[in-house]
Amino acid sequence: MSDLRRQVRDHYDAQSLAPEKVAMILGLGRDAASGNDGKVTEIPKRKSWGGILSAIAAVLLLSFAGIWWFQRDVGPVSYTLLAPRVIEFFGSDPELVPAPQDKNEVKAWLLSKGAPAKLEIPASLLPLESAACQVVDVKGEKAYMSCYWTDDKPGRGIHELVHLLVSRADDFHDQPKSEKPVIRELNGWSFASWTKDEILYTLATAAPPEKLSPLISAVERGESPLMISMIVE
């Protein structure tokens, strides 16, 4: 044995763990081997497809719930949306229901679609030729529409039509509260709106406001449909 080897051995042999330390570590080792040291080595779990599918389902459910939340009917919509919606409606080649000439039948049709029971067709529209009916959706709220010809000349078009839209006043806000028509123009269309008996009436035409003037003058005067009927006769 070389001197260096003996020297190294003497050095390390002089270093040793105290017997009580050895006993302690061996005791702890036995506890660890039997799993009594309180530390549990967790076996990694296999990926659960059920868990992944549940997570995907939860994400989809939350997405649908979010979409529903943002698109749900949250109450009255702004009256200012009505005019653009009407213009958009007629710009999209709508399907219209041919209307009977008897205005009582027109009213009955509108009522059958859910129009307010106290609906009255303005007296000035009664002598006009009925054109069509339809229900227009304005951001979830319904506007019950009937259309009338203001002229009977051949080759008449949309400019000769006037549209009456009837809605419940509660379904909108910002609408005119008075019974006196308020006129508004938008993109070549004219609108005259008023509220009577909690019903919002809107007359619309794809023409200047002058087209509506003779029709709303009777409303401004407060003439009843019956009176108009008498005048017509």
By the rule CB under 8 A, 33 interacts with other proteins: yes
Q: Are 160 and 208 in contact (CB under 8 A)?
A: no
Say how many Å lie between the first and final Cα of the chain, rounded: 140
Euclidean distance between CA atoms 193 and 207, whole angstroms: 16
With vertex at residue 99, the alpha carbon angle to CA 93 and CA 104, rounded to the nearest 5 degrees, is 145
Which residue, 20 or 93, is less far from other proteins as judged by CB? Answer: 20
Q: Which two tokens stand for residue 174?
A: 């910002």
Pair of tokens at residue 19: 């017997």
CA proximity to 161, closest of 183, 129, 135, 186: 129
| Window 40 to 99, contacts with other proteins (CB under 8 A) | 41
Shortest spacing between CB 24 and other proteins, in angstroms: 8
Q: Give the pair of three-digit tokens for residue 226.
A: 């019956």
CB of 26 to other proteins, least distance (A): 6
| Minimum separation from the CB atom of position 6 to other proteins (A) | 8
Q: How many whole angstroms separate alpha carbon 199 and alpha carbon 201? A: 6
Instruction: Count the residues of the shown chain that bind other proteins, applying the rule CB under 8 A.
Output: 28
The nearer residue to other proteins, 41 or 112, going by C-beta atoms, is 41
Would you count residue 111 as binding other proteins (CB under 8 A)? no
Give yes or no for residue 118 binding other proteins (CB under 8 A): no
Q: Does 9 bind other proteins (CB under 8 A)?
A: yes
Interface residues toward other proteins, by CB under 8 A = 2-13, 15-17, 21-22, 25-26, 28-30, 32-33, 35, 37, 39, 41
